[in-house]
Amino acid sequence: MARYIFITGGVVSSLGKGLASAALGALLQARGFTVRLRKLDPYLNVDPGTMSPFEHGEVFVTDDGAETDLDLGHYERFTGVAARKTDSVSSGRIYQNVLEKERRGDYLGKTIQVIPHVTNEIKDFLSIGDNETDFQLCEIGGTVGDIEGLPFFEAIRQFAQERPRGQCIFMHLTLLPWIAASGELKTKPTQHSVKELRSIGIAPDVLVCRSDHPIPDKERAKIALFCNVREEAVIAAPDLSSIYEAPLAYHRQGLDQAVLDAFQIHPAPRPNLGRWEDVIDRLTHAEGEVRIAIVGKYTQLGDAYKSIAEALTHGGMANRVRVRPEWIDAEIFEREDPSPYLEIFHAILVPGGFGERGTEGKIRAAQFAREHKIPYFGICLGMQMAVVEAARNLAGMPNAGSQEFDHEVGATRFEPVIFHLKEWIKDNQKIARSVLDDKGGTMRLGAYTACLKSGSHVADIYESHEIAERHRHRYEVDVKYREALEKHGLCFSGMSPDGRLPEIVEVADHPWFIGVQFHPELKSKPFAPHPLFADFVRAAVEVSRLV
């Protein structure tokens, strides 16, 4: 039976519960334990799949096709444990499940209530995989006191009460604000947050206190006294220059030891932190710097491309260089010449996205990279725009475009080099879709196999002829244009096993020009950089040495 750690937050949001959870998972692994990390989100959306990146940041996709919160990306990057559908749930999904059971008659005509029906559904979710790992770390989204989060807090209270004593603990993350006028840290917000948590029946075993100043011993003792926790279980969480410092920083503060003490695990296994010491060594002892332009449409919010930013950092670690990404709004290139903007960079990356806004700018960015021999990495829509650019400017199809944008305006303006995929094969079963379907969960989602062409650049990079990568898209490059495009130098170097769906394109007579239909950034980790990102940064380093 797994031990459970419930991670809650108070005072304000965005304190770093996801990062703290991920770092704790990594520290428990370093001590030889197996872990699984999960996220319970109180919002009423069924999942983040239909939410704007400006609302919620990126959508992290699992191998089994779940659209989840970006915190699951942190979990994977820090632990290397692949997330699953059963690692993420929202209030919307919980209520949907309850109502579906009510319609089927599963409750035998009873009145459906938050307690016990909703809370039981949450507890059933928590029990999934109970015997698979030593520890299950469950993060509750939002902050204590949020009205939509109350069923989750009640559910974890019940869950801990029903388990054998010592099987569950609670870790609470709060803010210690620094008041400049008085020159002191204030503990009262933390005291009130813990008081709110205790009022619903949950007493924290470990307190993690975010602050941009060290916590004096006097304040630490005060927090322990008024919040009824052991002094050594009051953990400081200072601001860090890199998120990858978190495991070592939390270890120095005693977080993993405090958690094991709360479970009365004695003696605690000694940690092996060599993996994280190597990560920090590569991060802090860079031997150069490369500038990479990211030309996208959600550039005002860094979390919209969180996994891409982290994968570039990992690529830098692999090459012992610092990657300096700079975000450029693709719409600028629809009005202005991209050359003055892009000629100062060592490489260009065009990420995924939905909708027509900014796409002509992305096409011009791809054209600049191809013509000026600058390393280019197109991901999902970034690949599709590179194909459209090649069709227009190499293959003599000036009206090449995507059905996605014709569908938006209700007219036929383009020759549809990119088309809406209506059916495909997943796990030996046919999946059919229509443009009229609901938006949520109707894309090609999760891991799919691709076969790589012998002698291609990507086959050399992967050192394999078969790969599996994660997808999230509705539109595909139409394979009927393959012959015309390959005559003009665009190589289709990765295809689905049945040969119907282009997965990777590359330009043969170019130092580094690769477009992929999938999202390789989702599988990159600091201790295991994705090979495409590692080689992309390597190509950028070569350009930097020529400048």
Q: What is the DSSP string of 346-365?
A: SEEEE----SSTTHHHHHHH
User: Strand pairing of 429-432 and 423-426?
Assistant: antiparallel
CATH fold of the domain at 3-279: Rossmann fold (3.40.50)
Say which residue, 44 or 169, is predicted with more confidence.
169
Residue from 67, 76, 139, 521 carrying the catalytic annotation: 521
Q: How far is CA 119 from CA 46, 80, 151, 206, in A?
A: 17, 30, 6, 24
Establish whether 121 is a catalytic residue. no
Q: What is the torsional sign of CA 521, 526, 531, 537? A: positive
Distance between CA atoms of residues 355 and 358, nearest Å = 8
Q: Is 521 a residue of the active site?
A: yes
pLDDT of residue 432: 58
Amino acid at 167: Q
138, 227, 380, 451: which is the annotated catalytic residue? 380
**pLDDT tens digits for range 351-396:** 988 877 888 999 999 999 999 999 999 999 999 999 999 999 999 9
Are 361 and 368 spatial neighbours (Cβ–Cβ below 8 Å)? no
> What pLDDT was estimated at residue 353?
84
138 is catalytic: no
- Catalytic member of 56, 314, 471, 519: 519
Q: Do domains 3-279 and 286-417+482-493+502-546 have the same CATH topology?
A: yes
Residue 323: which residues within 8 A CB-CB, separation 6 or more?
A: 289, 290, 292, 312, 313, 315, 316, 537, 540
Q: What is the per-residue pLDDT across 74-85, written as a single tens digit (0 to 9) for each? A: 999 999 999 999
pLDDT in tens, 45-55: 888 877 877 67
pTM of the model: 0.92
Q: What is the biggest distance separating any 2 CA atoms in the chain, rounded to whole angstroms? A: 75
Residue 418: pLDDT band (50, 70, 90) is confident
Helix (H) or strand (E) holding 308: helix 306-319
DSSP single-letter state for residue 339: H
In angstroms, the CA 192 to CA 114 distance is 26
Domain spans of the chain?
A: 3-279, 286-417+482-493+502-546
Bin 166: left if φ > 0, else alpha if -120 < ψ < 50, else beta.
left
- Taking residue 158's Cβ as centre, other Cβ atoms within 10 Å add up to 17
Fold of 286-417+482-493+502-546: Rossmann fold (3.40.50)
Determine contact, residues 72/78, Cβ cutoff 8 Å. Answer: no
For residues 450 and 495, the answer to whether their CB atoms sit within 8 Å is yes
